Amino acid sequence: MDANIIITEIKNYIEKNILAEGGQLDAATDLKQAGIDSFSTVEIILFIERKFGVSIPDEKLVPENFKTLQALAATVLELMTGAA
């Protein structure tokens, strides 16, 4: 799977389910500055685990991996390819 597909899926989920109406992200948007809080992060983790069939281990639950959609996609891709 391509990182851009992962970014698009997560972006669509966040824009539809978490951000205020009309809120938009791009791949490099700082998610914390966009209003993503710890509760929203849990929702995103659950979405990722269901959508992509991966389990995010505790050692991957660090702020750097949740800073942007690019970082999230890289983490998911790493988990999907078994490189974690």
**Domain spans, the chain:** 3-80
- CA atoms within a 13 Å half-sphere pointing along the CA-CB vector of 62: 5
Instruction: Give residue-wise pLDDT tens across range 61-74.
Output: 999 999 999 999 99
Distances (CA, A) of 80 to 20, 27, 32, 75: 30, 19, 25, 9
3-80 in CATH: which number? 1.10.1200.10
pTM for the model: 0.91
User: 3-class SS at 22?
Assistant: coil
- Mind listing the pLDDT tens digit for each residue in 19-61? 988 889 999 999 999 999 999 999 999 999 999 999 999 999 9
